[in-house]
Chain A
Amino acid sequence: MAKKTFKGRPLLAGNLDGQALASTQPLNTTGSYLENLFAGRTDSAPCTDANNKAFYKKDLSGAIICTTTTVGSSLGGAALMGVGSLGVGPKALLFSEHVDSVSLAGVLMDDVWNERRVITIDQLGDEFLETVKSGDPISIHEDGTVVVG
């Protein structure tokens, strides 16, 4: 596939190459990690949010998550810290829309307090999600540039 470049806003910047896990629906930060948060699973993070058809049952551990934004309980930030501490948090969160304040609080707290970074870029635009598909190679740059393909 032809490479396509998108420019977003780097909130927690970094360089990373990998494969995308994409959904045009939002990531529910609390509802997606229930097996990890409540059953102590540490080998993987199968998405438990049945509302998100693209993510449901997919492994979110170490994933480069491409989505619109995040939704869910106001304890979603704590949930992201929780999965980070279990070693099954995402490696990157790439949002087509503006970041949601709950998830941002969680990744910032984990980044500053525990030096555990989840690269976070927002405002990549609708076309980003129209383009990227799960499994696509993706390259993230510290200036907020994301190359798909």
Chain B
Amino acid sequence: MTAIGRSAAAASRRHRLGLEWLFAAPALLMTLFLGVPVAALIWRALTGDQLADNLTTALVLDALRLSAITSTVTLVIAVLIGTPLAWLLARRDFPGKTLVDMLVDLPIVLPPTVAGVALLVALGRRGVVGETLDEGGVQIAFTTVAVIFAQLFVSAPFYIRTVKAGFEAVEPVYEGIASTLGASPLRSFIRVTLPLAWPSIVAGAILCWARALSELGATLIFAGNLRGETQTMPLAIIAAFESGRSIEVPIALSVILVAAAAILLLLLRVVARTAPAMR
């Protein structure tokens, strides 16, 4: 090889050394920071004594049951009344739309404890609406219903955001063509818009459910921490810590939540992969 060839080769090597080498160290650091706690949790759960026993204590089982019920009910409500709102936000102009849009965004950026205080002020026994309800014999605060309300308040926005974007991505021409083919607006929504927005609806539902499952702050303030009634899994972790008996029960609860989160994230991946195939 000539001298010129050698120096050109050296220059190529030097300048081909990409940014990836420079960024590798901080990236690795960040990955470790995120990965180590989760790994530690799983390792402790698997190596510690009596994971199976801890998973089946009454406290854990009650919390598991309550979390499953409340987060599922929350999801169903979010889908049933969030979908129409998402469609209106995506497709129609109406007075106060900007305000509604902001209201939907608000719980996403608000600390959940603030959401809890707001719900208490509105629906507590002496709350703005709650007082009237109380006179009618209806109490919401510190009941299982309050858990669902707290979860819905913080998690429904994730569903509505995602589904709204999904509806916006469906070209209105499909609905127009469906109507020229004799479809009523409702039929064209069900047969055309919904299927085309389906990946977003599933993704929104997964995000919403995950958020509901991990809800803590709003529930604590608006629903309290009553075992079997308002004590979902995140709250049970706190209760178990406060009782000071051992760290084994919180670990068991945490592992369940990690597993649930992992499954949901996997589902989200699958949905994201099948989505483009529909088009």
Asked if A pairs with B, the answer is no
* Contact surface of B with A, Cβ cutoff 8 Å: none
